[in-house]
Structure 1
Amino acid sequence: METSTYQDVNQQVVERCKGGDNRAQYELYKLYSKAMFNVSMRITNDYAEAEDVLQEAFISAFKNLHTYKSEASFGSWLKKIVVNAAINSIRKKRSELVPMDERMVAEVPDEVPDDNDVEWQIDKVRRAIQRLPDGYRVVLSLYLLDGYDHAEIGEILGVSESTSKSQYSRARKKLLEIMREPHFAA
């Protein structure tokens, strides 16, 4: 019942935004900016760029609010805008997904290492993810952290589902490789 009330309040704020209420726009921004910044940051891996993406995404959302249908939550609709804006920002930097035939990843077993091999601390994982090449980091973030499936990721990035799966597999292996580096242990 509490979730329903929250959704009703959000829907009321959205309706006020559609009516041109600037205070309602600020309310939506306050409600969603932190979570959407985190999505942007995971994809862009750059604080200033993530801020720019966030602002562009909100501007786009407010301009296109008339296209929002209540079929999905406002947060889901906004998240798609943020993800697309972040990916477009990366594309502008002329970064590309790592080619399928590139051999930069050494073969690393798929099994999760024991705690004795690698300390699985959140900070270490975050730092390791930040070191991934853009293509790997984007696919890994969209799949693991944002919950998109490979078909959706392929659609978002303009690649095939199998390319998304391959990038994810390589990203996982590269992530483990980074975390096993002796100088990374600190």
Structure 2
Amino acid sequence: MLKVGLTGGIGSGKSEVSRRLASRGAVVIDADKIAREVVEPGTSGLARITGVFGDEVLYEDGSLNRERLGSIVFADSEKLASLNAIVHPLVGARVAELQEEADGDAIVVYDVPLLAENDLAPMYDVVVVVDAADDVRLARLVELRGMSEQDARARLAAQATREDRLKVADLVVPNEGALEELDARVDELWAELSARAG
């Protein structure tokens, strides 16, 4: 089993790379997706979040209002740390379960947004960073995700710098162009990962 840590700053296109790797045969373990699952209505994770942040972070149907919670925690590092202390152990336990289910010869790609921030690089055989300049990422968040520029800048500032992310990279996938260019880069990446797994 080849354990690949895949990361990239918000707006870098990491999710596009993750999807393309899955279509080529990788077993993708998506930390963001798992983080959503562990705070669904009825979970202990959601109960703990409302215990700390109150019911104002919920929609009327009882589900988590991520935008509201995000606006609280990304403006306050202590509150962000409190949220991470709830969510990260739950995600870790679920990741371990999924890893045990994968075949022994699989290329397992761990889609981990905060890999650099949480010093997780040593957990993987290979670290892949999807890279794009900060101004490109900012434009994507505003234009494609509809964030305000202020909110987008706060999200960028809450993550590791581009330089810090690149320091932990074994392989880098540049992603500032069209999706067709990204397809070719992912083909190259898959060939490299397959060679390392072999």
TM-score by length of 1: 0.29
Q: Which has the higher contact order (CA 8 A, sep 6+)?
A: 2
* Greater share of strand: 2
Structure showing greater radius of gyration is 1
Q: Greater helix share, 1 or 2?
A: 1
TM-score, length basis structure 2? 0.28
